[in-house]
Amino acid sequence: AQKVTQAQTEISVVEKEDVTLDCVYETRDTTYYLFWYKQPPSGELVFLIRRNSFDEQNEISGRYSWNFQKSTSSFNFTITASQVVDSAVYFCALIGQGAQKLVFGQGTRLTINP
Amino acid sequence: DGGITQSPKYLFRKEGQNVTLSCEQNLNHDAMYWYRQDPGQGLRLIYYSQIVNDFQKGDIAEGYSVSREKKESFPLTVTSAQKNPTAFYLCASSIVRPYSSGANVLTFGAGSRLTVL
């Protein structure tokens, strides 16, 4: 069985602080893909990143960075110098190679206060 | 621009009525999905389809029905058998080719919010 756990239900920080969203996953597949999506107040989910299980390099995109560690089955997401526009619900997701559907975590609601 | 269009954005239904939510995509994606989102909760898969004229039940298919007569369209009917239909419904699509760079990357529509009166 596959499972994604986002233990942080809600996080609230002040603008310009750094914030890390945790994602822990479970899978028996040796090949799998991990994702992060952002859901702003408008409701539409926006794709942020896909990472395959053979690529453990950290990824950086502007103020966003992702830390993938197979040893701890984690795929954490860090926002540096947070901004009010980063306020959203963030979802982590997993799919095994050959599987037909993604497994989503429960989401983390991030609020950035001015 | 390519994307997914969901309609209506807001819908009110009386108990006992069936309603149909529309989902259209012009991305030439093979797979389409319907998710339900309740306040403060994650996404739960209702139905998905990887090819025209074929679809599979997701985790919470009871009380819902779908059709996939065209590649571009995947309408969802919320039937009167669905006991608690008030929720936010999201449609998504993706390519299916397993080793392509876009495989399994879901593109979402803006959602439809259904309220039962």
Q: Average pLDDT for residues B29-36, to the nearest whole number? A: 95
Nearest CA in chain A to B4: A44
Place B81 in a pLDDT band, splitting at 50, 70 and 90. Answer: confident
**3-class SS letters over B9-72:** CEEEECCCCCEEEEEEECCCCCEEEEEEECCCCCEEEEEEEEECCEEEECCCCCCEEECCCECC
Q: How far apart are CA A44 and CA A33, in angstroms?
A: 21
Give the rounded percent of residues in chain B with a pLDDT score beyond 70. Answer: 94
* Residue B106, pLDDT above cutoff 80: yes
Of the partner residues A44, A50, A101, the one whose CB lies closest to the CB of residue B108: A44
CA angle A17, A18, A22 (to 5 degrees): 135
Instruction: Categorize the per-residue pLDDT at B103 as very low, low, confident or very high, splitting at 50, 70 and 90.
Output: confident
| Mean per-residue pLDDT over chain B, rounded | 92
Tens of pLDDT, residues B82-96: 889 999 999 999 988
What letter does residue A15 receive in the DSSP assignment?
A: T
| Rounded-to-integer distance, Cα B93 and Cα B84, Å | 25
Which of these ranges, A44-48, B18-22, B98-102, B111-115, has the smallest mean pLDDT?
B98-102
DSSP string, A25-66: EE---SSEEEEEEEE-TT---EEEEEEETT----EEETTEEE
CA-to-CA distance for B86 and B41, rounded, in angstroms? 13
Nearest CB among B33, B56, B110 relative to A42 is that of: B110
Average pLDDT, chain A: 94
How many Å apart are CA A73 and CA B102, to the nearest integer?
23
d(CA A92, CA A94): 7
Residue pointed to by tokens 């089955």: A73
Residues of B within 8 A of A95 (CB-CB) are 104
Average pLDDT over residues A37-59: 92
Of A42, A91, A101, nearest to B42 by CB-CB distance is A91
Is pLDDT of B101 > 70? no
Contacts of A111 in chain B (CB under 8 A): none
Q: Tell me what the mean pLDDT of segment A72-90 comes to.
A: 97
Please report which confidence band the pLDDT of residue B100 belongs to, taking 50, 70 and 90 as the band edges. Answer: low
